[in-house]
Amino acid sequence: MECEFPTINSNKQEIKEIFYITKTIAVVGLSPDESKASHRVAKYLQEQGFKIVPIYPKEETILGEKVYRSLLEIPFQIDMVDIFRKPKELDNVANLCIERGDIKVFWAQKGIVNNEAAKKANNAGMRVVQNMCTMVEHRALS
């Protein structure tokens, strides 16, 4: 597997603005397993007042929230997509975000970079963050 360096990424000021405008976060790959990073990060964000929307292939609820199988199933506004999937999956996630048309932020978690998907999301008007943890970045603002 080839590792990429993010060529499209938001700076610290943009990240501050992202958290200011974000109310609802769809977490793609939110595991029900409390030991997994996706669960810990989503729980932290939920505790900070963000509405969390789990995207996961199984389960009915995670962190007390209804689980959806796809971004396209969510019947309300999503501000940010926080992605815990392999880099090759980001192309599909970017396509779904573009199809929805209402997502403002495309965020790929620590260790996840896909510059083609990032470019696609950015060209569609989304702010893009790659290879950064939402929990770590949010905590740094406090």
Q: For residue 36, what are its two tokens? A: 């997994």
Contacts within 8 Å (CB) and 24+ apart, 69-74:
70/96, 71/26, 71/28, 71/96, 71/97, 71/100, 71/103, 72/96, 72/99, 72/100, 74/26, 74/100
Taking the C-alpha atoms of residue 53 and residue 56, their distance in angstroms, rounded to an integer, is 10
- Cα-to-chain-centroid distance, residue 21: 14
Q: Which residues pair with 107 in a beta bridge?
A: 82, 129
Res. 7 pLDDT band, cuts 50 70 90: confident
3-state SS class at 141: helix
Say if residue 26's pLDDT is above 50.
yes
Say if residue 130's pLDDT is above 60.
yes
- Domains identified in the chain and CATH numbers: 12-141 (3.40.50.720)
Identity of the amino acid at 28 = V
Distances (CA, A) of 37 to 34, 120, 134: 8, 26, 11
pTM over 0.75: yes
Say if residue 40's pLDDT is above 80.
yes
